[in-house]
Structure 1
Amino acid sequence: MARNYDYLIVGAGIIGLTIARELKRRLPDCSVGIIEKEDEVALHASGRNSGVLHSGFYYSADSLKARFTREGNLAMTAYCEENGLKLNRCGKVVVATSGEELAGLDELKRRGDRNGVELIPIDEKHLFMIEPNARTVEKALFCPTTSTVDPIEVCRALKREIVRQGVDILFSCPFKGHRDRTVYAGNDTIEARYLVNSAGLYADAIAKQYGFGGDYTIIPFKGIYMKYKKNKTDIRTNIYPVPNLNNPFLGVHFTKTFDGSIKIGPTAIPALWRENYNGLRRLSLPELSGILYYESKLFLTNSFRFRSLALGEVKKYMRNRFINESLKLVRNLDKNGFGEFMRPGIRAQLLNKKTMSLVQDFIVEGDDRSLHVLNSVSPAFTCSLPFAEYIVKLILEKQDGGRVAAG
């Protein structure tokens, strides 16, 4: 006997969970199901990120990321406080490692002002008062509203909440295909009046089955982390470098985690298949060939300086190279205090196949039967609550007909 839902969501990461929550908030009587190929929520990007609640000063003012990050920071902070979840209001400093990066600091300040984010220019003396271990050239930026949370704890709290509201979560139930409004997932046949695709690393593949996402493909990037284990008090706040704003990566940085520990990373190493976490586990030869095709093309053309990015990032697999890169941001940390590499994450980065460029913003496409959330990369965790409101509004508008493309 087929299951029936008004709304069927693919993927139980932070985006899928918050969309389910918002659907039940807006339409308490609707039936909502989530299919998840793993046996628990948040086993991929949503549970493998740094746990930073960003403030929203990196993104151009016309982007969905800028629109939802500041609001999302406030909403997720409130959610954690209301539900007794761990929250570390540690702030963030952005430092320059050379004089060439000072213009980047100025641009971040301009973006922060346009996006309504509190971002305070500080000199070296003021930086020392906030974070004695941070090193900069001439000046830095301080953002007091950046916090850290436990992303797995947040996702599991959302799971408990939506299950209480009547949402079904079908674990070990991977999406296999569809025919019209019938979805085949795991051993189940599901009738879905509307499908919402928030499948992360596989969102583009599912979107294509519905006639969307044709201009895009996922190019996965591996983020590896390292723990600093010697003394948790050696760092007080998050310490970030000035990023290359032509790329969507923020660079290796120090994170003061929800429990006060120190975490360094992530890298942005081009991965060879979508779940290329460790060794050959979950190797997919079709994915390998497709991803290598586009990565080779990017390497040869050096589009958005992919060649230098790839060569520089791959070197960070070497422990000493990783440590030396991070030490550029600090005054004094014991090299022997760095621990082993931690559990990696994979960024589901979208590539525009026509322009051969990495997509900087969230992409949403759909019609009156399905909606597809593509490129839900950082700061998607921070944005998730207001972004879910936006997604549900789009769904309700488009169920009466028409296609949508946003981002």
Structure 2
Amino acid sequence: MQHYDLVIVGAGLVGLATAREYLRRRPGLRLLVVEKEPRIAAHQSGHNSGVLHTGIYYTPGSLKARACVTGHRAMLAFCREHGIPFQLCGKVIVALTEEELPRLQALYERGQRNGVQGLELIGPERLREIEPAAAGRRAIYSPNTGIVDFTRVAAALAEEITAHGADLRLSCQVVGLLPRAAEIVVQMRSHPPTAASQSGSCEEELTARAVITCAGLYSDRLARLTGDDGGLRIVPFRGDYYVLRPEKRQLVRGLIYPVPDPRFPFLGVHLTLRPNGEVWVGPNAVLALAREGYGRWQLHPRELWETLSYGGFWRLARRYWRMGLAELYRDYVKRAYVRQVQRYVPALEAEDLLPGPSGVRAQALAPDGSLVDDFVIRRGQRVLHVQNAPSPAATSSLVIAQMIVDEAQAQFAL
């Protein structure tokens, strides 16, 4: 039976960055990263809009706020070191109505308290200079918000950790975690189409001195393997994007975002320049019928039942049912979605929006129906579970990794 010092479950950005951070602190550590998919960054890390956030939105003093402001700088340095192109295209957060102006002011002050550099409160004239096609009474301009291809970041992280001696095994699903006095047994199953007899496939069992799970959409299931889920449940929300026709891309120079409404859990319609020059519009947010339910009708009965049988989901639904119905309506009725987009960029028409990609957000939900907003790292016996790593986890992944390793070093004698 193989033995490692540390096993990390999940080869998304957070898992790979955690492996990198541990190896930087402990060169020579016998470390394994296990991923159930045949490729790295297969889900949230590879299905996001590629935004390099600066930390405007998050509650001052929260892990999110601290990690995002510092993580933005760390990610830019990493990209420069590894030759990964990025663009600081800037973002405007636009207030359309008189009612939104106090919220815009409060958001600006929050960004200032978080230490976000370069923020400006601007009027309509300056807004037209930055985004000529955008509507708005006032806006926050964040010049250091950027875009990057996070799949390239993940690839660079994987290359770095394997160059420093880590093992990376794909198509291997962890199905059991059994803590013992001096080690933890990791039970794994080769995931189709990889057969157990093929080179590079996973063993059925191995042991480790410690395990860190960074499983995203499956973080609650991994935590339940050791009884350390804290009652949290992952509820998947699908987000569909539209893509602007190439001849309309010039209408958006960077990122155009709405002022968040504190009554609702999701951001709403926004427009995002992509590293390849495309402009994405969205995403919306509707309940996914499967944890990997990227298609509208992609259904996994057991996973849907996990959501519908969870009391916290129904408490959430009672609180936000009106918003949920509105999101569903805009998901199925394109003209309703277009009307929302036109509030921010009036020149756009329905034919300018083409079907685009989709993503699934792993939303951690508490039993009382509250959305878990901040990062959650939970300790167990010889295991550390990253139970919630929502946006801006991609931007912040290098600093989240430092937080995880700080926790792990305090717990594990590696």
TM range (shorter): over 0.9
CA distance in 2, matches of 1:231, 1:52: 20
Q: Could you give the per-residue CA deviations for residues 23-73 of structure 1, whole angstroms, max 9, x where no partner exists? A: 110101101111111000011000000000100010111211001101111
Unpaired runs of 5+ residues, structure 2, are 191-202
Give how far 1:245 is off: 3.0
2:373 and 2:390 in contact (8 A); partners too: no
2:65 and 2:114 in contact (8 A); partners too: yes
Residue 174 of structure 1: aligned partner: 173
CA distance in 1, matches of 2:34, 2:264: 32
1:135 paired with 2:135, answer yes
Matches within 5 A, 1:387-398: 387-398=400-411
Letter in 2 for 1:254: L
Letter in 1 for 2:244: Y
Residue 376 of structure 1: aligned partner: 389
Q: Secondary structure, in 3 states, of the residue corresponding to 2:155? A: helix
CA distance in 2, matches of 1:385, 1:291: 31
Matches within 5 A, 1:81-100: 81-100=80-99
Residue 194 of structure 1: aligned partner: 210
Moved more, 309-318 or 43-52: 309-318
CA distance in 1, matches of 2:263, 2:390: 16
Return the match for 1:350 from 364, 367, 370.
364
1:218 and 1:351 in contact (8 A); partners too: yes
1:120 and 1:143 in contact (8 A); partners too: yes
Q: Could you give the per-residue CA deviations for residues 321-347 of structure 1, whole angstroms, max 9, x where no partner exists? A: 22222221113224322112x221111
Residue 22 of structure 1: aligned partner: 21
1:147 paired with 2:161, answer no
Q: Secondary structure, in 3 states, of the residue corresponding to 1:109? A: helix
Matches within 5 A, 1:256-335: 256-278=273-295, 281=298, 283-294=299-310, 297-298=314-315, 302-303=318-319, 306-317=320-331, 318-335=333-350
Letter in 1 for 2:160: E
Residue 269 of structure 2: aligned partner: 252
1:185 paired with 2:201, answer no
1:217 paired with 2:233, answer yes
Q: Could you give the per-residue CA deviations for residues 181-200 of structure 1, whole angstroms, max 9, x where no partner exists? A: 11111242121111101000
2:54 and 2:72 in contact (8 A); partners too: yes
1:93 and 1:142 in contact (8 A); partners too: yes
2:55 and 2:68 in contact (8 A); partners too: yes
CA distance in 1, matches of 2:125, 2:52: 26
Q: Could you give the per-residue CA deviations for residues 172-224 of structure 1, whole angstroms, max 9, x where no partner exists? A: 10111122211111242121111101000100111122121222111111111
Residue 54 of structure 2: aligned partner: 55
CA distance in 1, matches of 2:216, 2:257: 26
Residue 43 of structure 1: aligned partner: 42
1:368 and 1:398 in contact (8 A); partners too: no
Q: Could you give the per-residue CA deviations for residues 98-123 of structure 1, whole angstroms, max 9, x where no partner exists? A: 22111210111121011011321000
Return the match for 2:248 from 220, 227, 231.
231
Q: Could you give the per-residue CA deviations for residues 327-381 of structure 1, whole angstroms, max 9, x where no partner exists? A: 21113224322112x221111101110x211111111101451101112111100
Give how far 1:246 is off: 4.7
Letter in 1 for 2:234: I
1:247 and 1:360 in contact (8 A); partners too: no
Give how far 1:273 is off: 2.4
Change (3 A) 1:29 1:248: farther
CA distance in 1, matches of 2:397, 2:79: 13
Give how far 1:265 is off: 1.0
Residue 405 of structure 1: aligned partner: none
Change (3 A) 1:299 1:116: closer
Q: Secondary structure, in 3 states, of the residue corresponding to 2:344? A: coil
Letter in 1 for 2:335: N
Give how far 1:314 is off: 1.1
Q: Could you give the per-residue CA deviations for residues 145-169 of structure 1, whole angstroms, max 9, x where no partner exists? A: 1000011111112111111111111
CA distance in 1, matches of 2:278, 2:106: 30
Give how far 1:296 is off: 6.1
2:289 and 2:300 in contact (8 A); partners too: no
Letter in 1 for 2:274: T
2:335 and 2:350 in contact (8 A); partners too: no
Percent of pairs identical after alignment? 39
The normalised TM-score by structure 1 is 0.93
Unpaired runs of 5+ residues, structure 1, are 402-407
Q: Could you give the per-residue CA deviations for residues 63-104 of structure 1, whole angstroms, max 9, x where no partner exists? A: 110011011111111111221112111010000122211121
Moved more, 17-26 or 262-271: 262-271
RMSD: 1.7
1:247 and 1:358 in contact (8 A); partners too: no
The normalised TM-score by structure 2 is 0.91
Letter in 2 for 1:269: V
Letter in 2 for 1:129: E
Give how far 1:248 is off: 4.4
Letter in 1 for 2:188: A
Q: Secondary structure, in 3 states, of the residue corresponding to 2:309? A: helix
